[in-house]
Amino acid sequence: MTVALLISLRMSLTVSLLVLIFISGVVAQDGWAVHYNPKYICALNGSTVTMKCMYRYLVIDSSQNSFWSTIRSSDEDLLNDPYYRDRVQYHGDQQQSTLRLMNVTEKDQSTYHCRYKDDRFRGRYRDRGVDLSVTDLQVEVPERVIEGDKVTLTCKTTCSLTVQPTFTWYRNGRYLSSSTDQLHLQPVSRKDAGRYRCAVLGQDLRSPEVTLNVRYGPKSISVSISPSGKIVEGSSVTLTCSSDANPPVEYNWIKGTTIVGKGKTYTMKEISSVDSGQYKCRSSNEHGEKLSEALTLNVLYLQVEVPERVIEGDNVTLTCKTTCSLTVTPTFTWYRNGRSLSSSTDQLHLQPVSREDADRYRCGVLGLTSPEVILNVRYGPKSVSVSISPSGEIVEGSSVNLTCSSDANPPVQNYNWFKGTSLVGKGETYTMKKISSVDSGEYKCKSSNEHGVKYSTALSLDVLCECLCLCSPTGRILTLIKTIQSLEDHSHILLN
């Protein structure tokens, strides 16, 4: 296609030109020939861009007569548009015009044309113009990052920047490095986790922060115990497991080889010696599991240990037992019926033990005290005595109880009654009904338990008869008459 273009410009006569051009495919139809450099700009949000147009086939009379426009400014001079006015600067001469547009935003994305103020050219602007794209910065991180992966963070723009700038990288607000639009973390470690942003050196523009989440299995697991120090029977104890992992772990508690609990903490209320043992915590997430070192739990308790069977006269030793071996040899305290004794070792000697020693004992060490134990001292019967009921004169025909009492531990199981040397009865009480003078005599009680036998002193029983005694000259009893009233009726003569 051949185009003939005649452009006449109002200039001083000396520089007036007549240009006749024969060109094909270069000049816009019915347009004027301008050349843009660059033709496309990808600019960072907030930056300043410079567009340049060169008049190709003409020289304009004055730079004052050129201006820039866009559809957004309705093809009018940008300087007349309040939206642009403050951000626009023109520079130029008779062959070119430069537009400086400051603080560009996405709203400025458009095609910009350079124009000439001459009504003859209105409606004939068909040149390509300069396409402006404005981009922000965006850090792109892989969705799922596991420690050890090869990870690349990319500082993304929506258009490809005309000039390749130097990118700077920040982690958690701190400058990291200046490099390209890619940050390589190879291999990535959990220490790389954080908030990343990128920026362009020399520009105010910064990307929003993006969090890099690095997933990893449990590390550095540890178990702590509360309260620390000695653990006293009956108290409450909490074990706490902590491990570093992402995502968070599940915890299991293992005593020996058995799982005894779940969760970050494991609480034992009213702890007792059966809770002593080795505890471990296992933490696991989808990326691995880890077992803590064993924590040995010693439930400290004190107990007074006494021999099973203590018999009066034995040499007896009470021992203050602890469930764990104490690293230092501490001072023990012994208490008898609540009162402290002088003994300071873990043993209390009762040599020989007497029944007066049968008391309540407890021991103490390091601020702990044992429960009280009662010392049971066994002994055979002591101080056996016989009592008679009723007391006073005993008249023939009445009923009499003899009761035996004795001090013994365990209590006397067997009582035997003797009149003189012959066994007459058993049991604690010996009853004689309708007593008669033949029952007079000396009575003894024999009491016994497994530790011994003891006889009471003799009790002499005199049965008084309500009778008249006719005595022979020799002094022997000749007659026994029951009652005075029956003297006539019943008269017996007993001859001895």
Q: How far is the CB of 87 from ligand NAG (least distance, A)?
A: 5
The span of 55-63, 76-84, 99-107, 321-329 binding ligand NAG (CB under 6 A) equals 99-107
Q: How many residues bind ligand NAG (CB under 6 A)?
A: 18
Binding window for ligand NAG (CB under 6 A); candidates: 101-109, 182-190, 244-252, 321-329:
101-109
Q: Which stretch binds ligand NAG (CB under 6 A): 98-106, 224-232, 235-243, 462-470?
A: 98-106
Residues 149-208, interacting with ligand NAG (CB under 6 A): none
Q: How far apart are CA 415 and CA 427, in angstroms?
A: 5
Nearer to ligand NAG, 89 or 238 (CB): 89
| Closer Cβ to ligand NAG, 103 or 483, answer by number | 103
Residues contacting 226, CB < 8 A, separation 6+: 237, 238, 239, 240
Asked whether the bond before 247 is cis by omega within 30 degrees of 0, the reply is: yes
How far is residue 279's CA from residue 258's CA, in Å, rounded to a whole number? Answer: 10
Q: Are strands 288-291 and 182-185 parallel, antiparallel or unpaired?
A: unpaired
Q: Which is nearer to ligand NAG, 261 or 307 (CB)?
A: 307
142 scored as a contact of ligand NAG (CB under 6 A):
no
Token pair, residue 240, equals: 């706490």
- Under rule CB under 6 A, residue 315 binds ligand NAG: yes
Cβ closer to ligand NAG: 325 or 351?
Answer: 351
Quick one: which of 63, 203, 240, 429 contacts ligand NAG (CB under 6 A)? 429
- b/e sequence 117-151, b meaning 16+ C-beta within 10 Å: eeeeeeeebebebbbbbbbbbebebeeebbbeeeb
Residue closer to ligand NAG by CB (options 52, 100) is 100
- Measured at the CA of 410, the angle between CA 405 and CA 411, to 5 degrees, comes to 20
Q: CA 251 to CA 284: how far, in whole Å? A: 7
Segment interacting with ligand NAG, rule: CB under 6 A, options 61-69, 91-99, 100-108, 238-246 = 100-108
Closer residue to ligand NAG in complex, CB, 105/296: 105
Q: Which is nearer to ligand NAG, 256 or 427 (CB)?
A: 427
Nearest residue (CB) to ligand NAG, 157 versus 447? 157
Taking CA atoms, 255 is separated from 6, 218, 233, 277, in Å, by 101, 20, 18, 7
CA distance 491 to 476: 17
Please classify residue 402 by burial: count the beta carbons closer than 10 Å to its beta carbon, then call 0-12 exposed, 13-18 middle and 19+ buried.
buried
Pair 176, 194: CB distance under 8 Å: no
Q: Tell me if 89 contacts ligand NAG by CB under 6 A.
A: no
Binding-site member from 17, 19, 59, 102 for ligand NAG (CB under 6 A): 102
Query: 167-171 and 194-200 as β-strands: parallel, antiparallel, unpaired?
Result: antiparallel
Could you tell me which stretch among 97-105, 107-115, 284-292, 461-469 binds ligand NAG (CB under 6 A)? 97-105
By CB under 6 A, the residues from 335 to 364 that bind ligand NAG are 351-352
Q: Does 87 bind ligand NAG (CB under 6 A)?
A: yes
DSSP SS3 for 59: coil
Amino acid identity, position 383: S
Select the residue interacting with ligand NAG from 61, 81, 136, 357 (CB under 6 A). Answer: 136
Q: Draw the binding track, 241-280, toward ligand NAG (x: CB under 6 A; -: no contact).
A: ----------------------------------------
CA distance 90 to 64: 9
When the beta carbons of 10 and 107 are compared against ligand NAG, the nearer one is 107
- Which C-beta is closer to ligand NAG: that of 189 or that of 389? 389
> Is 54 exposed, middle or buried (CB count within 10 Å of its CB: 0-12, 13-18, 19+)?
middle
What track of x and - describes contact with ligand NAG for positions 360 through 399 (by CB under 6 A)? -----------------------------xx--------x
Selected binder of ligand NAG within 103, 166, 226, 238 (CB under 6 A)? 103
Query: Three-class SS of residue 158?
Result: coil
Applying CB under 6 A, does 109 fall inside the site for ligand NAG?
no
Of 38, 46, 425, 441, the residue at the interface with ligand NAG (CB under 6 A) is: 46
Binds ligand NAG by CB under 6 A, chosen from 80, 89, 105, 160 = 105
Let me know the angle formed at the C-alpha of 348 by 345 and 352, rounded to the nearest 5 degrees.
Answer: 145
What is the DSSP-derived secondary structure letter of residue 487? Answer: G
- Per the CB < 8 A criterion, the answer to whether 299 and 231 are in contact is yes
To ligand NAG, the closest distance from the beta carbon of 459 in angstroms equals: 15
Residues that bind ligand NAG (CB under 6 A): 45-46, 86-87, 102-103, 105-106, 136, 315, 351-352, 389-390, 399, 401, 429, 431
